[in-house]
Structure 1
Amino acid sequence: MENAQSRCLFLFFLLTWGLPPEVAAEVQASSDGSNAAQNPVQLTDVPAAVEFIAAAEVAVIGFFQNLKIPAVSIFHSIVQEFQDVSFGVSTSSEVLTYYNITGNTISLFRLVDNERLDLDNEDVENIDVTKLSRFIEINNLRWVTEYNPVTVIGLYDSMIQIHLLLMMNKASPDYEVSMHRYRKAAKLFWGKILFILVDSGLEENGKVVSFFKLKESQLPALAIYRTVDEEWDTLLIAEISVEQVQNFCDGFLKEKQLRENHEPEEKSPKVEL
């Protein structure tokens, strides 16, 4: 302990041959319709809106009282940039009231930490493609969020203060299987730990690896980190398994609870990795 994601069946076969059936199915699901045009779903009543949000890892909804404002066309234009985000639009007074919308608002809902983030009237009036795109990029946190200079902002703004980092080269032949298991483990710690992927194949991510006093030759590895006090631990792994990840996280959480029961916690500023 220390401080400081086939266009043809043949191609699909090539990509998934040798993978466990559940992983192959996951690859197929993620590739189906990837090139299809995406349009915002019209949410006409409260049940439809609730179901839409609950079904998505990340959902962005435009709650508009006036469809003639510039923000509406900007909202529609941004949809194709984020194929992994679900977009919806609602003008229903019933829906707006249910979500306490009093003006034109763009809201992002994410499952991983049950968070809702709003761009309210003034922000929507001054929105442009760049601003809306950045708002979504920063806050696009998922079961497993890939670390980069933009997502790190949203990660550190989350109320969840414990982060688990898998440092692994995405070019590794074990990557797809490992990520399937890592996502599965992430769901076991919903609301407690944010799961992050650090692509060690990117030179700029070397600073993250070195922060945890690790070397490239030691990867893949797990690092668990508490942002409030920079408490962290690492685990060298030859192969990712759900049980291994679960045990590592459980151990950290138990030690955290023991410390909190015996010592007063002194909060210090968060440090971005």
Structure 2
Amino acid sequence: MEAMWPRCLFLFFLLTCELSPEVVAEIQESSDDSPAPQEPVRLTDVPEAMEFIAAAEVALLGFFQDLEIPAVSIFRDVVRKFPDVAFGISTSPQVLAHYNLTGNTISLFRLVDNEQLDLVSEAIENIDANKLSRFIEINSLRLVTEYNPATVIGLFNSMVPVHLLLMMNKASPEYEESMHSYQKAAKLFQGKILFILVDSGIKENGKVISYFKLKTSELPALAIYRTFDEEWDTLPTAEVSVELVQNFCDGFLKGNGPRENDESEEKTQKVEL
């Protein structure tokens, strides 16, 4: 139990970095900006389901024995809210059995760490659009996940203990090229490191940046963090390249001198911000 405390402490710190209501509203509204299919894809057999899941960073599948239950209508209603999530439905007993399911289940699949997260029959009986939307928002981790109050919960519920943060202003001229390199590097560490983007242009994210003892003048910067022992290291950089990110991550994974945030008094002060 003691080994879990540092992880919980850092999670608590990040959860205190709440964005303003205006920013949260902007995040939520952005999901409605792009057109999306109005119906989930019907998946009739195991190969079709496997191919569908493998092709998406985040896939939400409804495994239903009966398409007349209320949960099916709710499942279909939330499709338009998440244009970047692949939605599928299957009633095939073989497909349910393949994914170790015995009853009506809504499952979220993540490419980044090969996780399958299930809402089983008991939860589905009481599901509504808000609850299902929240489940998707919290757990939709990607090769690169942007930090916000919803995604931070999913990040720290992941079984991947090492997180890499790119702290950079999304409005900067170098952002697009840097993100392209960052995403390419993320594929090299799939299942080993969670790649996170922290937009330094958002005022509230300053708490995350200061946690790693970085100043605005040092950005862009990379910060790598291991949740179970709170070891971390940072690398201010003017250019984000695949090689630079790969070397930084490899060095940390091999134990090449990451710093440990063991200053308990100072750490406690930061948590209470």
- Fold shared by both chains (TM-score > 0.5): yes
**Equivalent position amino acid for 1:239 in 2:** E
Query: Whole-Å Cα distance in 2 between the matches of residues 256 and 146 of structure 1?
Result: 27
After superposition, where does 1:10-21 map in structure 2 within 5 Å? none
Query: Whole-Å Cα distance in 2 between the matches of residues 142 and 84 of structure 1?
Result: 10
Q: CA RMSD in A?
A: 2.3
- Equivalent pair of 1:74/1:129 in contact (CA under 8 Å): yes
1:197 aligned residue: 197
After superposition, where does 1:102-117 map in structure 2 within 5 Å? 102-117=102-117
Query: Whole-Å Cα distance in 2 between the matches of residues 122 and 101 of structure 1?
Result: 13
**Equivalent position amino acid for 1:49 in 2:** A
After superposition, where does 1:47-66 map in structure 2 within 5 Å? 47-66=47-66
Instruction: For residues 142-167 of structure 1, give each alpha carbon's deviation from its aligned partner in whole angstroms, at most 9, with x where no partner exists.
Output: 00000011101110011100000000
Query: Whole-Å Cα distance in 2 between the matches of residues 135 and 36 of structure 1?
Result: 19
Query: Whole-Å Cα distance in 1 between the matches of residues 138 and 36 of structure 2?
Result: 24
SS in 1 for 2:254: helix
* Greater RCO (CA < 8 Å, at least 6 residues apart): 2
SS in 2 for 1:60: strand
**Pairwise CA distance, 1:127:** 0.3
2:240 aligned residue: 240
**Equivalent position amino acid for 2:127 in 1:** I
- Equivalent pair of 2:35/2:80 in contact (CA under 8 Å): no
After superposition, where does 1:129-208 map in structure 2 within 5 Å? 129-208=129-208
SS in 2 for 1:62: strand
Instruction: For residues 155-198 of structure 1, give each alpha carbon's deviation from its aligned partner in whole angstroms, at most 9, with x where no partner exists.
Output: 00111000000000111111111111100000111111000000
2:89 aligned residue: 89
Q: Normalising by structure 2, what TM-score? A: 0.81
Provide closer, same or farther for how the CA distance between residues 114 and 36 of structure 1 changes in structure 2, counting only shifts above 3 A: closer
Query: Whole-Å Cα distance in 1 between the matches of residues 191 and 101 of structure 2?
Result: 26
SS in 1 for 2:165: strand
Calculate percent identity across the aligned residue pairs: 73
**Equivalent position amino acid for 2:145 in 1:** T
Provide closer, same or farther for how the CA distance between residues 74 and 256 of structure 1 changes in structure 2, counting only shifts above 3 A: farther
Q: Normalising by structure 1, what TM-score? A: 0.81
Query: Whole-Å Cα distance in 1 between the matches of residues 121 and 257 of structure 2?
Result: 42
SS in 2 for 1:255: coil
**Pairwise CA distance, 1:256:** 6.8
**Pairwise CA distance, 1:37:** 3.4
After superposition, where does 1:27-46 map in structure 2 within 5 Å? 34-46=34-46
2:68 aligned residue: 68
Query: Whole-Å Cα distance in 2 between the matches of residues 148 and 126 of structure 1?
Result: 27
Provide closer, same or farther for how the CA distance between residues 219 and 195 of structure 1 changes in structure 2, counting only shifts above 3 A: same
- Equivalent pair of 2:36/2:79 in contact (CA under 8 Å): no
2:254 aligned residue: 254
**Equivalent position amino acid for 2:253 in 1:** L
Query: Whole-Å Cα distance in 1 between the matches of residues 36 and 232 of structure 2?
Result: 42
Query: Whole-Å Cα distance in 2 between the matches of residues 70 and 60 of structure 1?
Result: 17
**Pairwise CA distance, 1:34:** 4.0
Query: Whole-Å Cα distance in 1 between the matches of residues 170 and 39 of structure 2?
Result: 30
**Equivalent position amino acid for 1:220 in 2:** P
- Equivalent pair of 1:181/1:241 in contact (CA under 8 Å): yes
- Equivalent pair of 2:62/2:88 in contact (CA under 8 Å): yes
**Corresponding residue pairs, total:** 232
Provide closer, same or farther for how the CA distance between residues 53 and 36 of structure 1 changes in structure 2, counting only shifts above 3 A: closer
Instruction: For residues 32-78 of structure 1, give each alpha carbon's deviation from its aligned partner in whole angstroms, at most 9, with x where no partner exists.
Output: x9424342110001110010011111100000011111110000000
SS in 1 for 2:49: helix
**Pairwise CA distance, 1:85:** 0.6
Unmatched segments (≥5 aa) in structure 1: 5-32, 259-270
Provide closer, same or farther for how the CA distance between residues 131 and 36 of structure 1 changes in structure 2, counting only shifts above 3 A: closer
Moved over 3 A (4+): none
